[in-house]
Structure 1
């Protein structure tokens, strides 16, 4: 059984009413206790004062006052126990012998007794001329006064409870209204609406939610714009080889291509097919990187071995393009990483560098160990080229999918526009960082620095495991 309402407004009203009800019950109980205690104190004080006054009177005046004192159901009741044991006064008939003996044993008595099924506050004093003055006050009269006060108190508490309920309803509406409007705006964002007007409020917590949704709206707008641009760019790049393939395929089907041209046509179609394969492979790699179950096995890896293998694999490509490929790897550089994924990152950086470097240029790979203040280490791998280079703006957007590709596709040799984004995501999965380095004042046009956690004191895997 659900105790609390499902809505925030309902819970606010429920909590307000519950707190007000508990407060009213506690306040009522405490107040009634205090009122009863105060009433008893007043009644006892009144009886004690009257007893003192009567005890100070001479015998004849005392008897007159006792006889003139209110009788019957009036309060308080007064009696005089004479020295000979006789009793005069309105409560003489209910003063049993046992009670009389208790009163005769001392000159002063202050107690509560039960007489005839009724409880009395009793104050007794020794009179100056002998005998004992007794003043009694029935607790029924005290209870009646408390009941009257209790009725008035209950009315006041009921009014307070009603006010609390009304306040709770008003508070619930004030608090829940902006949240309901914010939820409606969030649903519009989820459906694809952008630049949604959000309700602003002075409540700090609700304002934080609104500001967060506002930031999310802006981020989604930017992200979706980039995605659209990226998809348009990919669509264009995919259409180019597909158009070439389709054209040559139609020419072959129509018999336009002669036997002497078949070899060239086949070579062109193979090249375009490889371009398509590269696009698809990059897109699949991005999808795998964004999956939660992406696998990376971190072990101590000998960086020199991985760099040597990468350099050997790309040296022929560099030579065919007239580019010098240099390596400078310090011995004993060990990183805690995944050898296969590290090789994948370095291959991507080398491919970009060789594509951007003209004939006669240089591509350099460096690796070294960096000490940290806490005694640990990090491994730095830098790939630099003497190509056209990157501006400061280019460095800020280098890892945004397709950003450099869209900017330089008409002026430079570019790839799919996904390589650097893939490299950075891979690096993050390995616990490292990949940054575009400022090359101002250096002979390099572009330089990318990869930093990975070191593997201090651990045995590295064999270099051949990186393949």
Structure 2
């Protein structure tokens, strides 16, 4: 874990970006500053040369050999003046021109550089009407001084920019760091088991911080609801296990005490077997539910004819359905409906939902298995004409033990549900887990027959 806090990271990131940006700007602007200063100096020198070439003084100077400069003359602005006579003879600043440049200067404008008395200079030469040329020279050292001055100003501006970036980074880090620290404290309280925790978010803060705070609030509510469901489920588990265990223990103690007559032994044995089978089914369902949540849960996927699967399942359920006084009908297309899925798991879902219907439906009721091919998959329905469920049950019908606790003994309309040997509230949770593992969805609705309808959507492939 990083030793840096969010404030330090944000400040360092802001300053780092600012330093890189300023360094990049300095690298780019340095040659531009020199180029701009040199261009400005040359343009100024060129204007002076143009002006001097138009003055009569320049012609008179070039026409008087005795007045030709014998050494460079420097003006108050640091500009040296020179003459190239019509004969090509150079005096003053013109001495910095090469022989070829002197000849060119007699005929046209010349802008070049050279050395005058061992010092680099900028040169501007202009031809005169009388065939001579006037030459002006400006020291490059003056350009360097201007560049240095502009660089100092640039560095000062960059330094001020860095200070502003540092202050801005610290301000942003403080504004973000404080609410994030509060969110982290809230998350730690949640992880420690505290519930009803509210994260304080300052008004006007970043939208993302408010979204994280809202997510933590919802997580708090979800954890509280989940823990409450878990508590109720564990209470239901303890109750469901206590009943058969109490019965088994009571009969076992009666056998040990000799309170059971020989004629009563077969009945006691049947009761012990029945209670142990009930407990075995319950433990098996608990293990099945746990396996569904395991990472190594596997599926045996293959090409399955769902019509054949329904037909075989109907035959397997025929005896139990008949003993319950019910009818089981299959509504499926007259042709094979194939799907790549796990046939055993699909049958498991059908068995769970059908078992639920058989237990709650009174004699004379009808149970329907329906198969419909749809774009991208299939829909399987298990419907019944029993007492059905309330609309509010759809929200938590697949939570372990919820409906079992809600309708313990009776259904929504007072109908008898379950009883000894009845359901224990895990079947729908198992069906939901299996369907989810198959990549599908399951939901509870109202059947046209008047009872409950469980609709399973399975995708292709």
TM > 0.5 fold call: yes
Residues 73 and 82 of structure 2 are in contact (CA less than 8 Å); yes or no, is this contact kept in structure 1? Answer: no
SS at match of 1:262: helix
The 5 Å alignment of 1:89-108 reads 91=93, 95=96, 98=99, 101-102=102-103, 105-106=106-107, 108=109
Cα contact 1:5–1:11 (8 A) shared by 2: no
Match of 1:340? Answer: 344
| Partner residue in 2 for 1:410 | 409
1: distance between equivalents of 2:68 and 2:26? 41
Moved more, 94-103 or 388-397: 94-103
2:20 aligned to which of 22, 30, 55: 22
Corresponding residue to 2:251 among 244, 248, 251: 248
Distance 2:228 2:121 in 1: 90
**Aligned-residue offset at 1:160:** 1.4
When the two chains are superposed, the root-mean-square deviation of aligned CA atoms in Å is 3.4
Tell whether the 8 Å contact from 2:389 to 2:452 is kept in structure 1 after alignment.
yes
Whether 1:157 and 2:158 are equivalent positions in the alignment is yes
Distance across 2 between alignment mates of 1:172 and 1:200: 15
Superposed counterparts of 1:316-465, under 5 Å:
316-321=319-324, 323-330=325-332, 331-336=334-339, 337-359=341-363, 361-372=364-375, 378-384=378-384, 386-411=385-410, 412-414=416-418, 415-439=423-447, 442-453=448-459
Structure 2 gap segments, 5+ residues each = 411-415
For the residue of structure 2 that corresponds to 1:437, the secondary structure is: strand
Q: How many angstroms does 1:277 deviate by?
A: 0.7
SS of corresponding position for 1:435: strand
Query: How do 1:167-186 and structure 2 match up within 5 A?
Result: 167-186=168-187
**Does 2:283 match 1:285?**
no
Give the corresponding residue for 2:413.
Answer: none
Report the Cα distance in structure 1 between the residues aligned to 2:147 and 2:284, rounded to whole angstroms. 89
- Residues 334 and 379 of structure 1 are in contact (CA less than 8 Å); yes or no, is this contact kept in structure 2? no
Larger mean CA deviation between 265-274 and 247-256 belongs to 247-256
How many pairs are equivalent? 443
SS of corresponding position for 1:399: coil
How far, CA to CA, are the matches of 1:346 and 1:240 in structure 2? Answer: 28
Q: Confirm or deny: 8 A CA contact 1:304 1:329 kept in the other structure.
A: no
The answer (yes or no) to whether the contact 1:365–1:382 under 8 Å persists in 2 is: yes
Counterpart residue number, 1:41 = 39
Q: Is the 8 A contact 1:122 1:136 kept in 2?
A: yes
Compute the displacement of 1:99 (Å): 7.5
Cα 1:44/1:248, change in 2 over 3 Å: same
Q: Confirm or deny: 8 A CA contact 2:314 2:330 kept in the other structure.
A: no
How far apart in 2 are the matches of 1:377 and 1:290?
A: 24
Q: Show the counterpart of 1:463.
A: none
Aligned to 2:371, the other structure's residue is in SS state strand
C-alpha contact (below 8 Å) 1:311/1:325 kept by paired residues = no
Query: Deviations 1:361-397 (Å, cap 9, x if unpaired)?
Result: 223233333343xxx662534341x433222223443
- Aligned twin of 1:215: 218
Identify the range of structure 1 (443-452 vs 289-298) with the bigger mean alpha-carbon deviation: 443-452
Relative to structure 1, the CA distance from residue 79 to residue 403 in structure 2 (aligned partners, 3 Å threshold; closer, same or farther) is same
Q: Check conservation: 1:394, 1:404, Cα contact below 8 A.
A: yes
* Structure 1 residues 303-349: Cα deviation after superposition (integer angstroms, max 9, x where no partner): 4544444344443334444x132323444343423232222222222
Q: Is 1:315 aligned to 2:318, yes or no?
A: yes
Pairwise CA distance, 1:285? 0.7
Rounded Cα–Cα distance in structure 1 between residues aligned with 2:438 and 2:130: 108
Q: Secondary structure at the match of 1:300?
A: strand
